[in-house]
Structure 1
């Protein structure tokens, strides 16, 4: 049904029965409870229904015959059911555990249940997990870090656009075309990269390169921050290493690493911003094998700060606010569940990373 048809059917059911529970309506209309609540809010604003919370019974005006009576929607007399939030993240062993920790901390304070699912940076896998959370688990809302590239990514985008439950994207920003109720919480990765460039420039480095990985959704934001910071500080980018390499687990990584170091030596580059920690640690190890001193010949700042302090030497790092991102995402979704008004404006939250200075710079 179209939304207008669904709302007309909802009013018809209410006028015929007088008192109906939200979850009964959701089952009859084959939509989620949150969708019914949104419809009820809209219809109540129009004066077509009257919402009664708790265990109220229908009033005499509701029982009275006639087309002008105003139906009452009665929710359960017991305490409201604990909202259930589904969360799908692309990894359970790198970057995302701290985000999940933040979500769980906020969920405990908001009395929200979280159902977690891990994916594999594959849009089809993410879509399958999301659909099961909505259809089988019956979650009231979703937290997701979706993959949106390729044909499967486009299919996932279409699904998110039409989702009947509120969605908050985590470390992703909704593209043009999402419905307004899709909200987001992200780290300010461009600003984090700019922090690294400024830190290195303040230590006298004039040619600062950047290395990112082709598979990372964060890479474009890190590179943009590097470019903007170099422009503001008057640092040269032409001839400076600006590479997007394969993942360190790829068989082509050793050759890509040597090519990067050769480019640094040839161009007089004395500092590098590297995303992410495993690639930066591997680079430092290769520097030691080739007799390139860190930080004496090449200063290194890594982006992520998952295992940066375990390097030798410990790596200066940009630390995205992972736990804070998780807390803010859950709080946004909980606020949307408490206030399902379709007219509530969408929120976009951006949180600043931190610079952690160690021996490598």
Structure 2
């Protein structure tokens, strides 16, 4: 924030406190009209003042912490609870796979931070996430955004650039992005998917496998990281990635799906590959079923590690799987947003959290 902006912010905040001491309560809608400032800017100012302990934030406005006058619709002040900061608008690309646990983690942390979650779903095929994000910002109570926007849509670069300029804190979740000629980092929380994939390769290598393939999902933003981790671990363990299967498959059920599974199994057999890392669970389970139909037993004839561990443990055999820290990702994203609300001038943070490997019945030493 440049000196002129700091001066303007200090003047606005002084005006807010003056109105509070005069009236005992302020509403963002009234302040916006009176001061000629956008609601988004005022929400950020109020969040800053709340972080300094100078006021108590309530829905649509603020009261003095010492004020006895209740605000209509506001919960009574409870000294044992954190002051209410407002809502965190949250946009995720799916509400039925991977992301629900991320959201649950964010909700758990929200209650401890004086925030609540305002959730919206997009899709992996979204051509432009900006309209959804703008609708979240239209809610008077939203004081920050947690978002997993598409980074492959034609509009993605413009959306990220816009997010970096709005006067509202933004935390990307499971996404990395930079903006501008100096490649300024956008605040984010991510799983170390490359490390998770490397864990799987090291596990299989420790069992004695020397040809370990990889199968990724064509349209998943996680796949490039999984593939990079596989390559890194191959180098670390002295494996030759060119001697095995390295391929991406379409979504399960689409035209060409069965042919893609057969092509993978043909490749595994032709290269003598005895183990494979598959992203994600659905693809791994389908590959195991197809292998069994062709007379290849798991893990006796082929060891399989799934990446995601959403439903891998429910399969038979239960699949060894890499589990991204979904709930921890949600908690960390919310905590990062709250920290930004309390201290708008803190350095940009990029938080990376390590996945875990769950060893089950689909991996074993190679036969013979």
TM-score band (shorter)? Answer: 0.7 to 0.9
Residues of 2 paired with 1:182 and 1:201: CA distance? 36
Aligned counterpart, 1:147: 150
Preserved contact between residue 308 and residue 314 of structure 1 (Cα < 8 Å): yes
Preserved contact between residue 211 and residue 242 of structure 1 (Cα < 8 Å): yes
Aligned counterpart, 2:92: 89
Preserved contact between residue 84 and residue 114 of structure 2 (Cα < 8 Å): no
Residues of 1 paired with 2:194 and 2:176: CA distance? 13
Matched residues, number: 331
1:282 aligned counterpart, secondary structure: helix
Aligned counterpart, 1:29: 37
1:336 aligned counterpart, secondary structure: helix
Q: Is 152-161 or 201-210 further displaced after alignment?
A: 152-161
Residues of 1 paired with 2:217 and 2:145: CA distance? 28
Change (3 A) 1:127 1:105: same
Change (3 A) 1:34 1:182: farther
> Unpaired segments of 5 or more residues in structure 1?
42-50, 56-73
Aligned counterpart, 1:345: 347
TM-score by length of 2: 0.81
Displacement of 1:174: 2.1
> Does 1:309 find its partner at 2:317?
no
Describe how 1:246-257 pairs up with structure 2 within 5 A: 246-257=250-261
Aligned counterpart, 1:53: 54
1:291 aligned counterpart, secondary structure: coil
> Unpaired segments of 5 or more residues in structure 2?
21-25, 68-76, 78-82, 364-368
Aligned counterpart, 2:72: none
Change (3 A) 1:126 1:18: closer
Describe how 1:295-334 pairs up with structure 2 within 5 A: 295-334=299-338
Change (3 A) 1:7 1:30: farther
Preserved contact between residue 197 and residue 227 of structure 2 (Cα < 8 Å): yes
Describe how 1:150-189 pairs up with structure 2 within 5 A: 150-177=153-180, 182-189=186-193
2:91 aligned counterpart, secondary structure: strand
1:19 aligned counterpart, secondary structure: helix
Preserved contact between residue 144 and residue 169 of structure 1 (Cα < 8 Å): yes
Residues of 2 paired with 1:196 and 1:8: CA distance? 53
Displacement of 1:18: 9.4
Residues of 2 paired with 1:295 and 1:280: CA distance? 13
Change (3 A) 1:168 1:13: closer
Residues of 1 paired with 2:317 and 2:308: CA distance? 16
Residues of 2 paired with 1:189 and 1:18: CA distance? 46
Residues of 2 paired with 1:17 and 1:196: CA distance? 55
Residues of 1 paired with 2:14 and 2:317: CA distance? 73
Q: Is 194-203 or 143-152 further displaced after alignment?
A: 143-152
2:352 aligned counterpart, secondary structure: strand
Residues of 1 paired with 2:239 and 2:113: CA distance? 47
Aligned counterpart, 2:366: none
Displacement of 1:179: 8.5
Which of 52, 71, 76 is equivalent to 2:63?
A: 76
1:244 aligned counterpart, secondary structure: strand
2:270 aligned counterpart, secondary structure: helix
Preserved contact between residue 264 and residue 270 of structure 1 (Cα < 8 Å): yes
Which of 279, 286, 290 is equivalent to 2:283?
A: 279
Change (3 A) 1:273 1:148: same
Change (3 A) 1:209 1:295: same
Change (3 A) 1:136 1:260: same
Residues of 1 paired with 2:341 and 2:15: CA distance? 28
TM-score by length of 1: 0.83
Residues of 2 paired with 1:4 and 1:26: CA distance? 23
